[in-house]
Structure 1
C-alpha cells in the first residue's frame, strides 16, 4: 500500500470518527414530575401606627410624675430637671420559622441647633419598648432580640415605644439657655440576625 493510499485511509478513518461524535447512543430513560410543594418566604416589617405619636411632660416633681400631655413640643420650653417623653406605637409583622430580629434604637442623630451644644450635652436619653419585646433598649444601636415562634406569631404585634429626654438638673449659670435640639431625630430599626445560636 503506497503512502497516498495509506493517507487516504487514515483520513477516511478520521472522518468516520468525527461523524461518530455527532450522534448518540440511545438508551432507555424515564422521568417523572415530583409534587414537591411550595416554598413561601416570611416577612419582617416595622411601621409607625398613624396618629400614635404623643409628647408628655414626665417630670417627677410635676403632678406627681404623671404624664402631662404636651400639645405642641415646639412651643414647650424645657428647664433643668425636666423630663420630656416621646411615645409612639409601631406595628411589627414578623413571620418565619427561624426568624430572630434585633430591635435597636439609635439617638446619635439627635442634633443641636446653631449654638446649642450645651443643651445637647445636658440632655440624656433612654428608650424603652413594651409589647413584642420589653425593657430598655441601648441608645447606641445595640439591640434587644425579638423572637417569633414558628408559624404562630400573629401579624401586627403592637410595640409601644417610649423615649425620655432628661435635662440635667445640675445645669447652672446661663448654661444651655435659649438653645434648641431636635428631639425627634432618632431611629428605630428592626433587623433580622443570624446565626440563631453562637
Structure 2
C-alpha cells in the first residue's frame, strides 16, 4: 500500500506539472513590441534631351554640313544644347559623345575631333555634372593645315548619329 500511495502521489505531481506546462496553467514572461514608420525610399532621375545641333565655321558663321566641303586648315564646330536632369542626393554624371571617333575615309593624322567642351550659361564646366540645367556641348572637327599633296581629297567623315550620353558616376565618399 505504501507503494501504491507513492505511485499515486508521483502520478498526481506529474499530471499537475503537465497541466501547468501544457496549457492548463501559465508560466509568465515579459514581452513588448513597438512599430515605427521609417518612410519611403524614392529613386532620383538621370536624363538628357538634345535640342537641334548647329555647325559653324572658324568665324562662327553657320554652315550646312551636308553641302559644305572642308579644305586643309578648316575647323568646324558642332554646338549642341543639352537639357540635363540630375535628380538625387549625391547624383553626378559625366557627359560623353558617341559617333565622333571614327575617322572614316580621312587619314587619322590629318583630322582632329575633340571631346565635348561643356558650358553652362557661357561658363566652362567639367565632368562630372552635379546639377540639372541647360548644358551646351561643343565638338570641333579640324582638317589639319599640315595635310599635304592631295591627301584626303574627296574623302568623307560621316558623323552619322552624334549622340550625347549621361553616365552616372560615384561621387567622392560614396561606395
Matched, 1:128 2:117: yes
Match of 1:83 in 2: 75
Q: Relative to 1, partners in 2 of residues 1:184 and 1:103: Cα closer, same or farther, differing over 3 Å?
A: same
Q: Given the alignment, which residue of 169, 172, 175 partners 1:193?
A: 169
Cα distance between partner residues in 2 of 1:168 and 1:32: 74
In the TM superposition, what is the alpha-carbon distance from 1:103 to its structure 2 partner?
2.1
In the TM superposition, what is the alpha-carbon distance from 1:79 to its structure 2 partner?
0.4
Matched, 1:68 2:44: no
In the TM superposition, what is the alpha-carbon distance from 1:33 to its structure 2 partner?
3.9
Q: Given the alignment, which residue of 15, 37, 40 partners 2:39?
A: 37
- Listed one character per residue, the Cα deviations across residues 132-182 of structure 1 (whole Å, up to 9, x for unaligned) are 896487xxxxxx21124xxxxxx5x10111111011112121111011011
Cα distance between partner residues in 1 of 2:48 and 2:168: 12
CA contact (8 A) 1:102 1:193 kept: yes
Report 1:29-178 matches (<5 A): 31-49=33-51, 52-58=52-58, 65=59, 67-70=60-63, 72-106=64-98, 109-112=101-104, 116-118=105-107, 120-126=108-114, 127-131=116-120, 135=124, 144-148=127-131, 155=132, 157-178=133-154
Cα distance between partner residues in 2 of 1:90 and 1:191: 14
CA contact (8 A) 1:110 1:185 kept: no
RMSD: 3.0
Cα distance between partner residues in 2 of 1:136 and 1:41: 26
TM value normalised by structure 2: 0.70
Match of 1:182 in 2: 158
2:66 alignment partner, SS class: helix
Unaligned ranges ≥5, structure 2 = 1-21
